[in-house]
Chains A and B, each alone.
Chain A
Amino acid sequence: MYSVNRSLVQDQLEDKQIRKIEEDLRSRKMPDDVVAGILSFLTVEKIPLDTKRIHTAMHEVKQEHPDMLESFRFSRGDLYPFSRLLEKTLFRLQNSSLISTTNPDFKNCIVSRESKEFIRRNILPLFSRNEQQQLQEMGRSFERLMTSP
């Protein structure tokens, strides 16, 4: 049977320590939060579910706001700039139903009003006022790039 090493069993945490960890877990912004934040500022509900266009657009948005998208590294020399982190982030946003796809052709990616409202209520407060403003600008740029022919 699996054996627990008793010498590595931690002592009970004090309330103060627990609160500190909880606060950090609640307040730490993750890359997924940034992308969710950007999507919450879209004025349209649908964007094309097109990996190439999405990654290319987000790469361009990164040129304007490098700090906000710092963790997203994009490839060069590919047919389009690709970021594995963005691919994972979009997958996770889909899995948490914040973005969805249209049936039956799966051609569009939907960010519903309900999703945007959820993000505004639960995710945007993680960001400072200045960061929220940046996310709004990023959302506009992203939308322009995704909806232009």
Chain B
Amino acid sequence: MPTLRESVGSVVDKLLSGVTVERVRASKLIRDALTATTIYEKHEISLLDLPIIQRLRRVHQTALAFLTYPCATHNRFQHTLGVMNIVDKLAKAFQQRYPKLMGLETLQELRIAAMLHDVGQGPFSHASEEIMEHMGDVKSALADPKFSKIQGKPHEMLSYLIITSDGFKRIIRDINRLHNVNIDVDRVADMIVGDMSNPNEQGYISDFINGPFDADKLDYMPRDAYFSGLKMDIDLDRIAYTCHVDERGFAYPRRLCADISGAHNLEQILFNKVLLYASIYHHHKTRAAVCMLRSIFEIVQDRKLVIDGLTFQDAADFLLVDDYDVLSSFRRHPELADAIENLKNRRMLKRALVISRKTVTDPMKLERLIGKMEDPDQLKKLRILITNEINKNGGKCGVYDIWVDFPDPPSLREPSQCYVRMAKDEYVLLKDVFPADWWLTAYGETKWKGHVFCPPQTQLRTLANEAAIKVLKNQFGVEVLPSATKLAKISDE
């Protein structure tokens, strides 16, 4: 079995086969709906034109949320340009205050890191990432301490492996030579995974790309909100001007921190994050669509299908396809045709049961159930039991039509990973300024819920509801209240 690094190296060779770096006549101005018009240097245009980056035009930023929010069709390429613009703004504001800590080359590399940070995204972004994170080759690769900061986001590791592959380094050498620049691709890759070679001295550099309040977050939050129609904003100017570096020295690593006068802007970002989860990412239709996509890849993997030479048994295969491929070439396989048509035409799975601490008689008994979400094999066994029960009672559906889904909560680690400067030499953690730990508690109590999804036919939904209730009780002793069925709105629809 090749290692993930080797598989990714082969993918890069395929994607860059026959690609030569084109001479670019001049820098270019590109308009972005959110971050305005920005100039891109010649070497950046050479990079942006590579198929590895152009592929991001065909990867939806918010996975399948566009099936719920029709305008959320924005893509990873747009986000990439946005992150470049934002990191430029943050770094230039920082440069004014700390000219010795932000040289021209670092600024150039931060822009390149922003451009490349998402090249490891699979089709439909985080939806395929939910599959990849459980794959053996990804888990083995994540054991490398280099990737210790990558917690649940394997695409950053894949981006790192792409960028540090021999094939990609060859391209960077050509770009450096052609445009007379000096991009250190290893340093760029370190910024993306947040692991600089000298973290105590240089940690602040990767904080711009992979830190508590990095350019990635500062772009995706307003972008996802804007294209979904949610009213939300962040005060980027103020964040840029209140961003400092921890200057205590010695025992304190040199990391980015916020001045107290900008702390409320960071609070606003976290508030936005929670709102995005509640409204978009954890919307039950969005989750149903993610489950449908996961079924498609489950069928491919279980039936050992080969699609255009790819088996998707290795995570690297996900880098060779985009959203368009999934909706087109996958369609040619009879086993996948129905599933693809369902997704394309928004023929969605619907709720059969809504499970939360408020819809069960004894929440303690949920522990054994919701903990299973860490293991898709365990989850699948549960789905098999429910499917079997449905079919025993006259239903007709497959395990790929039934899902039990408890989405991962938002991570609110940022406030305890970021210092706020109260006064000269007086710093406190952001969590001591506003206690976001509570927010996660409140989110769990009021917003978070799991679902059993099934085909929308009313008879099947009723059968799935009854089957799920029975299996959950038998397996985990979980007894649901009438609200678990009522909230699924089976009879209303």
Contacts and interface: CB of A to CB of B under 8 A. Distances in A.
Contacts of A115: 364
A96 B397 contact: no
A91 B450 CA distance: 14
Contact of B367 (A36, A77, A82, A85): A36
A77 B364 contact: no
Contacts of B444: 91, 94-95
Contacts of B338: 3-5
Interface in B330-354: 334-335, 337-339, 341-342, 347-349
Interface stretch (B65-73, B111-119, B313-321, B435-443): B435-443
Contact of A3 (B335, B341, B368): B341
Interface residues of B, number: 77
Contacts of A8: 299, 335, 398-400
A25 B379 CA distance: 9
Contact of B195 (A71, A73, A77): A77
Interface string B386-399: 01100110001111
B25 to A, nearest CB: 42
Contacts of B367: 32-33, 36, 92-93, 96, 98, 122-123
Interface in B372-419: 372-375, 378, 381-382, 384-385, 387-388, 391-392, 396-401, 408-409, 411, 413, 416-419
Interface in B181-239: 194-196, 199, 203
Contacts of A131: none
Interface stretch (B29-37, B44-52, B145-153): B145-153
A25 B475 contact: yes
Interface in B97-142: 142
A125 B145 CA distance: 34
Interface string A1-42: 111111111101100001001101110101111001000000
B441 A106 contact: yes
B481 interface: no
B260 interface: no
B417 A123 contact: no
Nearest to B415: A51
B370 A6 contact: no
Interface string B416-440: 1111000000000101000101101
A113 interface: no
Contact of B396 (A9, A32, A122): A9
Contacts of A22: 385, 474-475
Nearest to A5: B338
A4 B195 contact: no
A28 B365 contact: no
Contacts of A65: none
A87 B437 CA distance: 10
A59 B101 CA distance: 32
Interface in B420-474: 429, 431, 435, 437-438, 440-441, 444-445, 448, 455-457, 474
24 contacts: A2-B342, A2-B456, A2-B457, A3-B342, A4-B396, A6-B396, A10-B387, A18-B388, A21-B381, A21-B385, A25-B372, A25-B382, A25-B385, A28-B375, A30-B368, A30-B372, A52-B416, A77-B253, A94-B441, A95-B366, A96-B365, A106-B435, A106-B438, A123-B368
